[in-house]
Amino acid sequence: MDLPGPVVAAVRGARRILVLTGAGMSAESGVPTFRDAQSGLWENFDPSQLATPDAWADDPPFVWAWYAWRLHLVRDVAPNAGHRALAELATHRDVTIVTQNVDDLHERAGSEVAAHLHGSLTELRCADCHEPYDGEPTLSPEPVKRLDPETCAACGGDVRPGVVWFGEMLPEAAVATTEAAIEALEPGDVCLVVGTSGIVFPAAGYPAMALAEGATVIEVNPVDTDITDMCHHAIRGTAANVLPALVSAVA
Ligand code: APR
Ligand code: ZN
């Protein structure tokens, strides 16, 4: 894939690269995004019924069944060439990855992830005493209607997924790490925004913060998004196509 010269020059010359990824990063691994037409999770499931503390309080088995399916799916798929390209880029440049994704595909491709802004599907904890759950949960290969959550050994409470639901605060450490990484950006650095619709804050506000620090903001997405207009460059392509081309151009 041919990339615009200024994009290659910006990444080649960058002292530091901050990468912000969203669901599109994992799409080519077979993990559905949230808002893509037809395939998006929020096109087929109601987030108010599955991704809020009230939904969990109302009916833990209904909510857990959905996450037990998503966790089964994430364990079943593999990192794609885009994940692998970012891991390789980090061997040539100072790369910091912050992600909105709750899968562990960056890590399984060999990347270190500085922050999981929306938590992690693979981290389970007690909804009552917050004790981490390190047992082997019953998962489901299909999105079944109901599945009893695991039980906390410490207090008997229900075990929930370690993801951030709508209305919940983001993990303080993840936000602090991300904002520090952005504040450390200088003119000549690059902020690579891959596979996000740029709708959900605070993550959606991070490209503008990187811009304000003087970084060159480059979007990788097949389509225009809410943040396209603020980017210096918008590469219309997929993560698994664009990122390997970018890494081979700068390595
Ligand atoms: N490569 C790159 N981008 C892609 C690809 C791909 N192969 N396929 C789809 N995309 C793009 C879509 O065009 C879209 O802009 O990825 C983006 C996915 O957007 P969303 O589904 O809204 O996902 P995201 O931006 O990560 O959502 C943010 O919303 O529901 C919450 O917590 C959830 O973390 C999520 C947050
Ligand atoms: Zn407990």
Which tens digit of pLDDT belongs to each residue from 109-137?
A: 999 999 999 999 999 999 999 999 999 99
List the binding residues for Zn(2+): 126, 129, 152, 155
List the binding residues for substrate: 67, 70
ipTM above 0.90, yes or no: yes
The reported pTM is: 0.97
Find out whether 98 and 181 touch, Cβ atoms under 8 Å.
yes
In the CATH hierarchy, which fold is given to the domain comprising 1-30+78-118+170-251?
Rossmann fold (3.40.50)
From 39, 175, 197, 224, the mutation candidate for ligand 1 (largest count of ligand atoms within 8 A of CB) is: 197
**What is the residue type of 124?**
L
Q: What angle do CA 241, 13, 218 make, to 5 degrees?
A: 45
From the CB of 221, is ligand 1 less than 6 Å away?
A: yes
| Residue identifier of the C-alpha nearest atom 5 of ligand 1 | 24
Domain definitions of the chain by residue range: 1-30+78-118+170-251, 32-76+122-163
Report how far ligand 1's centroid is from the alpha carbon of 23 (Å): 4
DSSP helix, strand, coil percent of the chain (3-state; round to 5): 35, 20, 45
73/140 Cα distance (integer angstroms): 9
CATH architecture, domain 32-76+122-163: 2-Layer Sandwich (3.30)
Query: Residues lining ligand 2 (ion), CB within 5 A?
Result: 126, 128-129, 131, 152, 154-155, 157
From the CB of 161, is ligand 1 less than 6 Å away?
A: no
Same fold, 1-30+78-118+170-251 and 32-76+122-163: no
From the CB of 36, is ligand 1 less than 6 Å away?
A: yes
pLDDT in tens, 149-182: 999 999 999 999 999 999 999 999 999 999 999 9
The most distant pair of C-alpha atoms in the chain lies apart, rounded to whole Å, by 58
